[in-house]
Amino acid sequence: MTQKRKFPLSLGRVQPPASAAKPVLRPQRPLAEAERDRVRAQSPSGLGLDSEQVRARMVERLRRDGLADARVVAALMAVPRHAFVDSALVQQAYEDTSLPIGLGQTISKPSVVARMLELMLAVQPPGTRPRVLEIGTGCGYQAAVIAQFARSVVSIERLKPLHDKARANLAAVPHSNMRLVYGDGRLGHAPNAPYDGIVSAAGGADLPATWLDQLAVGGRLVAPMADARGAGQVLVVVDRLDDGSLRRSIHEAVRFVPLESGLG
């Protein structure tokens, strides 16, 4: 049932779904855990990291786990994830793992990137090219994936060293439909609004009203948000309906870095 709500949006009265009991998706892991995995990891046998076969193997694993949107499949195949990973960690580039990228941040697991983008695209008819706003550029990998199917993508990063790193990484990946912005992600980016899709790589206790104001009719926002029980985060999906009202749904448990204000 459609409900009109005031925002910022709070989950205080939302009942956690049964799916919250599922294993938590962890796009950002403790760095020590990632380092232990790196030491144990072995490079793909007999294949260079720039081989399409390596990426195909990663994507096939995601398809077996439920990834079905052909646009996301093609985008993941097109983007060389190893180009966005620090050289000491490239052997793990095509494993389903998060990896440190500096400043206490990580590149999200491919499975988490795939899940969030598939949710965002679920309301976009095949063949359409949405305008997308990404909150939290990080190393630029997800922005590069989005650029494969979007008409345009605006990606905001509040940490200047990461903004600069993403710009350098993306210089090697062809794209003409992307704008990288150094700014406060909580403010969104009004000059290019409205957006058909908004996806955030950080979560807080609320969804900023600016994001919702910048969501187009027929558009969908996907973001992590504090669980109503005070235990971690869940994925929240918000749709702007034809009459301008907002409809919210709650999905699986996740773990992202905190959503912070200001520039760093």
Residues designated as active site: 108
Do 133 and 104 form a contact (C-beta atoms < 8 A)? Answer: no
Q: What is the DSSP string of 63-122?
A: HHTT---HHHHHHHHHS-GGGGS-GGGGGGTTSS--EEEETTEEEPPHHHHHHHHHHHHT
Helices (H), the chain: 31-40, 52-64, 70-78, 110-121, 141-147, 160-170, 209-213
Do 97 and 157 form a contact (C-beta atoms < 8 A)? Answer: no
